[in-house]
Structure 1
Amino acid sequence: MTRWRPLADDLDPRVREFTEQLRRQVDRGGLSAAALADATGYSRSSWERYLSARLLPPRYAVVALAQATGADPRHLVTLWEVAERAWSRAENRHDVTMEAGRVAEARAALGEFGPAPGTGPAPRRSRRALVLFAAGAVAVVLAVVVATVLAGGGGGTDRAGQPRAPHSSRTAHAAALPSGVKCTGATCTGEDPEGMGCGGAHARTTASAWIGGALVETRYSEVCAAAWARMSAAAPGDTLTVGPAGAGGQVQRTRIGGTAAAYTPMLAATAPTAVLSCATLASGLHGCAAPQVASPSLGPGGR
């Protein structure tokens, strides 16, 4: 792994700088692909993608590489955070472009029903045509209502004469969630954020602090209206918690085993400032990642 392939010419400069720094650390540590995989717990193929900037590594992998090469994880994590923001913006631009393409295709397919917005006024229709159109629309609505009632969507009774339960608001709300997201609010409490689809692009770090040699973070998902604590560079016996920022309330907890990274189950939260992530190290050292609140005294040029 001492000879690297050139990075893509159109790669974001911040992602390029981060990737090049990872490569330097691997070179300094004299690690082969197999040795890097063994030392970090991430596969050789994953590191090949990370070190070629085809995929941004997770924070845990960055911390694990720093530990394996003797680098200060805080500096690499700082570069990773900058690269992550650039990577996310690039993905969002790609999504917007793809969405615009799909909208254009849909408008073209619907062109026979009228021009797309901004193409000029539609030709004036006769009163007879408008009346026929309105009558057809009413017929369609009535057909949908009748079909819904017959299917049991509006309550009523089943074939045995028993009352049907109406569709719950929870089911309707779940249908409105982004693809892959399986909970929101109180239904997320106690659940795994990754398993419920609340992590990744749906989450952000809202607070962080170094407790001894461990990094503690609060992760918050607005889509899921829930938060959880995450810990990197942990040691066996460390304990991680997330709970209300005030006194009392439910607390989610996890104890570190044989891994250097872990996170707690989720806790419903209306805002990231409503929770507090804390760690108690096996050495007895305790600390929390205080919620980040913007200072009103600092303007756009403040630090």
Structure 2
Amino acid sequence: MSETPPQSASITLGREAGHWVGRFMAMASPCEVLIEEAPAALARQIVDVAAGCAWRIERKFSRYRSDSVVHMIGSNAGRAVVLDEESAALIDFAATLTKMSEGRFDITSGVLRKAWTFDGGSVVPTQEQVDALMTRVGWHKVQWRKPVLQLQPGMQIDLGGIGKEYAVDLAAARIEEISPGSSCLVNFGGDVAVRYPRRDGQPWRVGIEATARAGAAVHVVHLSRGGLATSGDSRRFVLHQGRRYSHIIDALTGWPVPDAPHSITVAADTCTQAGTLTTLAMLRGRESESFLRASGAKYWIQG
């Protein structure tokens, strides 16, 4: 599928602090690509490729589009569907995450958004509402033999928990193909990939945004190669009777994970690996830091 961005007019490109910065919106997130020492035409090509990757993944896997693979799978619930190689690989990865999390991460739990709206409001569903939806949640109810997937009637999938990190790594790989050795930083809504340090040998500096309860930015990460991913509740939460409910839902209960940190950031070899660790850690709640410590990963926790 082509990755030429059809929305290229919505990309901005300019010089800031000695490097090129391209900006666009994708996957409901502000995205940017920082590029050092490149002709304007090449910088534009790099940003176009990154945006094209992001927009293609959004079109293909968004639960909000009627022409997406996710919508096709949900529309065929109860019937077997044969998936293309890329879609099957993402489903396989999601199944691995479900196993690693002992069922707390589950792409079939997206149906719970019918009960939960994490918009900063105060509405919390009843247990009865959650229970009614939980009958349609559970990877163990799915038949999956790659590349054939079959959901039970009424079930859906949601790849939002893994799609953005995948898109970041894909964009970084595509940039390497068209401009080998280019010093770039790809940032899709706070999920980051870097393949090379800056031209002077110094690492890229990536700020970790403070949570709503903190204040200014609290950490700066020095990244020469690898990925960075953050998960938290600074924007997506419910505040009910003085209690803050994170958007990180435990698929075993249908309720937000109790006692989870407000934010976890992890550095790893790829953005996808970093995102995997942030997700698994968040789902551990109060045990998140002990999990990350045992993993050996570099991490930063707020709250």
Which structure has the larger Rg?
Answer: 1
Normalization by structure 2: what TM-score? 0.27
Q: Greater strand share, 1 or 2?
A: 2
Q: Greater helix share, 1 or 2?
A: 1
Normalization by structure 1: what TM-score? 0.27
State the structure with bigger RCO (CA 8 A, min sep 6), 1 or 2. Answer: 2
